[in-house]
Structure formats: C-alpha cells, structure tokens
Amino acid sequence: MSSRQKMPVINIEDLTEKDKLKMEVDQLKKEVTLERMLVSKCCEEFRDYVEERSGEDPLVKGIPEDKNPFKELKGGCVIS
C-alpha cells in the first residue's frame, strides 16, 4: 500500500500543558457564542417526540409471544 496517509502524529501524551490549554481556550471561545434554546421548550419537544412514538416501541409496549422473533426455541431452528 503506497501513498498511505498516517495520522498526523498527535498522541495526547506528547502535547505540552501549554498546547492543551491553548486548544481548550480556543474551543471555549467558540462555545460561548453558541445560540441556545430554552430548556423548557427543548424538554417539551422531547416529551412530545417520545409520546408520539412510544406506542409503537416494541420494548415499551411488549410484543405478543407469537410475534416475537426471539420467542423460545422449541428445539431445532426457527425458519423465517
């Protein structure tokens, strides 16, 4: 395999304290300027999303034994 690109040699153990701090400060500067939504609004949308779908969620409502693809094996293979 010719022309194979290797990871730019960065092993976290090789970075100096100063390098790591610089990375952190640059990152924090970006994050402070993010646009955020009100938590209540996010949670309400969250709750609505879940409620709409949990009726169809097999692990929430349970699956009738005969429709369960993982029902007990009665000896031999399950042919599907």
Partner 1 sequence: MDQTFLVNVFGSCDRCFKQRALRPVFKKSEQLNYCSLCVEIMAADGLHENETLASLKSEAESLKGKLEEERAKLHDVELHQVAERVEALGQFVMKTRRTLKGHGNKVLCMDWCKDKRRLVSSSQDGKVIVWDSFTTNKEHAVTMPCTWVMACAYAPSGCAIACGGLDNKCSVYPLTFDKNENMAAKKKSVAMHTNYLSACSFTNSDMQILTASGDGTCALWDVESGQLLQSFHGHGADVLCLDLAPSETGNTFVSGGCDKKAMVWDMRSGQCVQAFETHESDINSVRYYPSGDAFASGSDDATCRLYDLRADREVAIYSKESIIFGASSVDFSLSGRLLFAGYNDYTINVWDVLKGSRVSILFGHENRVSTLRVSPDGTAFCSGSWDHTLRVWA
| Contact mark string toward partner 1, 13..52, x via CB under 8 A | x---xx-xxxxxx-xxxxxx-x-xxxxx-xxxxxx-xxxx
User: Least distance from C-beta 33 to partner 1, angstroms?
Assistant: 9
The whole-angstrom separation of Cα 67 and Cα 80 is: 12
Counting Cα atoms < 13 Å in the Cβ hemisphere of 50 gives: 7
Ordered alpha helix ranges (H), 4-75 = 17-32, 39-54, 58-61
Q: Which of 64, 66, 71, 74 binds partner 1 (CB under 8 A)?
A: 71
| Rounded CA separation 54/61 (Å) | 8
Q: Does 74 bind partner 1 (CB under 8 A)?
A: no
Identity (one letter) of the amino acid at 17? E
Q: Which residues bind partner 1 (CB under 8 A)?
A: 1, 4-13, 17-18, 20-25, 27-32, 34, 36-40, 42-47, 49-54, 56-60, 62-63, 68-73, 77-78, 80
